[in-house]
A and B are shown apart, each in its own frame.
Chain A
């Protein structure tokens, strides 16, 4: 009888996220009452206790207890995580509160590359043959036991961090040592030191952005990755959509992605899926129960006027489960994750004004800050920034991104 209160959404936003603006803007667009929960307190938390919350995002049990207490005073309509880790915490909290969410086991499997592959393999999804090892094992012994070329991949890092191709046992031993240092520096919980050794699968790579509704995958976009990803490191640079791969290939990638969603048991929410395609068909490389990373979501716009963001689509599914997923705009769009050319201390990036003036370029955002130590892959965990472009064709967009990138001149001093 009384008008229902506005929907309040709990958004789990780690302080290291690139996506704060996008999600906060989306909540505003949807006129949701928003509570932002981070692992460290906001300066305004005492002033606005309904809108800002501190949760131990590294400890799902503690986060559940705190969120349950919060929800008693501020009833929640949904809980959203924005990255791999918070997707798991969101499922824990939402499950505890009886809100619609993915099965926890499915989200956990998406987060852990070993569990993920075990489930995908059991579900008959085409994945590269793999084995699981730990850094405690003798590197040379493992190197002698695997097939080449292979890829070493830590089970718990994201964004191609620590992913290294090895073509022979000597390269494997070198990669193994490097991976050990990366995992040590990452200070993962429980001294996580598992890594996968996967057979290297040749062929062009694609990214599929999707929304799962009642277990059915709705494709939001399929991106080409026009820069070859042959290793030894796998730095992602350019994403362009729609794909130029042809209808048959896109259909085949989509079917493979749906198989993966089903095999993991994901029932709802965003998915970001990496696939390859070669003469043997599609290969599922990774699946994550979250939207595309970095600021790349800005590439995607939806609805007839192109005014609906990816994050809006994500949040709307949380507060209005099962609502129709709008189609992407008709223009081609792309992003370049600006690579860090070498290690050092960033002093600035020149040429951004020129880059923004390149036809088709919508924006150039430098996210690394002056004075920051920057590291390229496989050690690095940050982007220099992002270039966004839009235009009539994927080829035009790709060219615009490359032209804009060519004008940028990062000034990086050697490390002290």
Chain B
């Protein structure tokens, strides 16, 4: 990650253009390649805009590829603003770059054996204690090409809400904790369940 450099030049009396040697919005290409922000709420989630609009006396920010164009409020002098805006841009771009670097760094993708061990541990410590509240249990059968093959038992086998437990519960838990996890394959014979926690009926 190279050092963030920011240059500044006036556009007119009200506006200054700051050029940056790094991307400034991280939002992909807009329709016209530029994004305009006029309030902190508007800028929520866009660090450079949030930071610059946080400087008192700034009323508009336009972000384009490698440039930040800033409009000051009437009655405020640029000499009072320039350093603050420079700092806001530099610190927010540096922070954004660091976050991006962390998120794009190669994730620790596990092979199937390592994933099996990780999932088995998750089942033992998290998943099974939870489904046990409904008399259920989940058995890890295998991990194949990052897909977790499992079988549901007890109260989960034949339960009318088993798919909700799988998709909204177990899958979410594994997604969060197991890098590279692709999905779940349920091989349960749900028609053989003898004590499902929830049973279906006509409504």
Q: Which residues of A contact B (CB under 8 A)?
A: 1-3, 13-18, 20-21, 24-25, 28, 34, 36, 38, 40, 42-44, 47-48, 51-52, 83-85, 158-159, 161, 293-294, 349, 352, 365-367, 369-372, 381-383, 385
Contact = CB atoms under 8 A, between A and B. Distances in A.
B35 A1 contact: yes
B163 A47 contact: no
B11 interface: no
A42 B165 contact: yes
A159 B202 contact: yes
B163 A25 contact: yes
Contacts of A44: 130, 165, 168-170, 172-173
Contacts of A20: 160-164
26 contacts: A1-B36, A1-B37, A13-B164, A17-B200, A17-B203, A20-B162, A20-B163, A20-B164, A24-B164, A34-B167, A42-B161, A42-B164, A42-B165, A44-B170, A47-B130, A51-B169, A51-B172, A159-B203, A293-B202, A352-B191, A367-B191, A369-B193, A381-B201, A381-B202, A382-B200, A383-B202
Interface in B148-203: 158, 160-165, 167-170, 172-173, 191-196, 198-203
A83 B201 CA distance: 11
A171 B201 CA distance: 28
B96 interface: no
Contacts, number: 121
A251 to B, nearest CB: 31
Given A1-B42, A44-B168, 6 more contacts: A17-B160, A17-B161, A36-B164, A42-B164, A159-B203, A382-B201
Q: What is the size category of the interface that chain B forms with chain A?
A: 35 or more
A365 B167 CA distance: 21
B131 interface: yes
A1 B36 CA distance: 7
Contacts of B162: 20
Given A20-B163, A24-B168, A370 B194 contact: yes
B35 to A, nearest CB: 5
A34 B203 CA distance: 22
Contacts of A21: 163
A385 B44 CA distance: 51
Contact of A1 (B46, B130, B161, B195): B46
B167 A16 contact: no
Nearest to A380: B202
A372 B199 contact: yes
**Which of A13, A47, A369, A370 gathers the greatest number of chain B CB atoms within 10 Å?**
A369
A16 B198 contact: yes
Contacts of A24: 163-164, 167-168
A365 B134 CA distance: 23
A286 B89 CA distance: 65
Contact of B203 (A25, A52, A85, A352): A85
| 7 nearest CB pairs, A to B | A44-B169, A159-B202, A83-B203, A15-B198, A366-B191, A21-B163, A18-B200
**Which of B46, B158, B161, B193 gathers the greatest number of chain A CB atoms within 10 Å?**
B161
Nearest to A346: B194
B168 A367 contact: no
Nearest to A1: B35
A386 to B, nearest CB: 11
B27 interface: yes
A229 B170 CA distance: 44
Given A25-B163, A38-B161, A369-B194, A47 B169 contact: yes
B133 interface: yes
A371 B168 contact: no
A207 B192 CA distance: 32
A20 B169 CA distance: 14
A16 B196 CA distance: 11
B33 interface: no
B165 to A, nearest CB: 7
Contacts of B199: 16, 369, 372, 382
Contacts of A383: 202
Contact of B45 (A2, A34, A36, A84): A2
A367 B44 contact: no
Nearest to A40: B198
A36 B160 CA distance: 13
Given A47-B130, A158-B203, A371 B160 contact: no
A47 B175 CA distance: 13
B192 A370 contact: yes
Nearest to A27: B167
**Which of B35, B45, B130, B191 gathers the greatest number of chain A CB atoms within 10 Å?**
B191
A212 to B, nearest CB: 20
Contact of A3 (B27, B126, B164, B201): B27
